[in-house]
Amino acid sequence: MTQIASSFGRTIGYLRISVTTRCNLRCVYCRPSDLSFEERRDQFLDFDEMLRVVRVLAGAGLYKVRITGGEPLVRSGVVEFIGEVAQVPGIRDLALSTNGLLLKKHAEALARNGLHRVNVSLDTLDPDIFSLMTGGGRLQDVLEGIDAAQEAGLVPIKLNVVVTRGFNDDQVAQLAALTLTRPWHVRFIEYMPIGGDEHLYQQRFVPASEVKQQLIQSFGALEELEWSGISASRNFRLPGAKGIIGFITPMTEHFCAGCNRLRLTADGKVRPCLLTEIETDILGPLRAGISDEELLQLLRVASQFKPEHHEALGAWRGQRNMVQIGG
């Protein structure tokens, strides 16, 4: 098996598949497009096409797949699709990113079908702030979804917090405190200027260093945990905690040197870097009857477009928004 070499000495082992651009929330930092937006078959990949990409990549060293969106659980058939991905030889880490609203309903079936773990977006523990940040979401539904995931064994549960000035930057200690009694990972993510709104970015961005300072003031010194060199998250533990605190710092300290990811967008583009606009279309070639060998070759070429690191830190302004790319 020849692995997929990316540029600058990296190897591809991880695929993030966005299965839909639709979402049942409208988060302030993400802003999905119109909820009634329809995904036409001629413009979006079907599950068989996504599965084919997984199989072809798995033959060349892919071992990790994350299903994301939009909100992946709003696409019907996704639970069965996850079951098929879980059967692909070589895939040993299969995860789902979700806002958690539909997790209570699906957690058990997801676990039964072979999903290993979930990451859930959770920006606050205050129901009113949650509703404000998500465009009307109900916090209780997410909390019940997280509990259902824990019960189903979709662990370790990782909670993603986008720290957003003026919305939840005063909530970080409360969220971090979840790790004191639960084996969860609470990961603070720096707000990225996805979609290119510079003005909002300037208003809302909070550097991870500030969050860290707040946590040290509230809990005392953080214990630094070993870093794999590949993970986007730098991990710490609060004194005496069961769980883990993570900082994901795309804007102030990039982690590109060990990046082994490719992204597949719902509309069939391979994107080697979230924060770089280069994309390679595979929907067209797939529907034109490309062979597996040709597909693999196309994926190899796409991987070569992974930049050494994303554009000058803090200066990048993307055009496609997060639901179009897949978070």
User: Contact positions toward ligand SAM, by CB under 6 A?
Assistant: 23, 29-30, 68-69, 71, 97-99, 121, 160, 162, 189, 191-192, 194, 322, 327
First to last CA, the chain: 30
Dihedral of the CA atoms 263, 18, 150, 213 (nearest 10)? 60
Q: Report the nearest approach of ligand SAM to the CB of residue 254 (Å).
A: 14
Q: How far is CA 224 from CA 11, 31, 230, 232, 302, in A?
A: 27, 34, 16, 15, 35
Q: Report the nearest approach of ligand SAM to the CB of residue 143 (Å).
A: 14
Q: Which is nearer to ligand SAM, 190 or 241 (CB)?
A: 190
Residue with tokens 């529907």: 287
Q: How far is CA 241 from CA 119, 161, 178, 220, 223, in A?
A: 19, 18, 9, 12, 10
Q: Report the nearest approach of ligand SAM to the CB of residue 28 (Å).
A: 9
DSSP-assigned letters across all residues of 160-217: EEEE-TTTTTT-HHHHHTHHHHS--EEEEEE---GGG-HHHHHHH---HHHHHHHHHH
Token pair recorded at residue 18: 């966005």
Three-state secondary structure call for residue 143: helix
Q: Which is nearer to ligand SAM, 97 or 235 (CB)?
A: 97
Are 106 and 83 a contacting pair, CB within 8 Å?
Answer: no
Q: Report the nearest approach of ligand SAM to the CB of residue 67 (Å).
A: 9
Q: Which residue is nearest to ligand SAM (CB)?
A: 327
Q: Which is nearer to ligand SAM, 113 or 123 (CB)?
A: 123
Q: Report the nearest approach of ligand SAM to the CB of residue 286 (Å).
A: 23
Q: Report the nearest approach of ligand SAM to the CB of residue 153 (Å).
A: 20
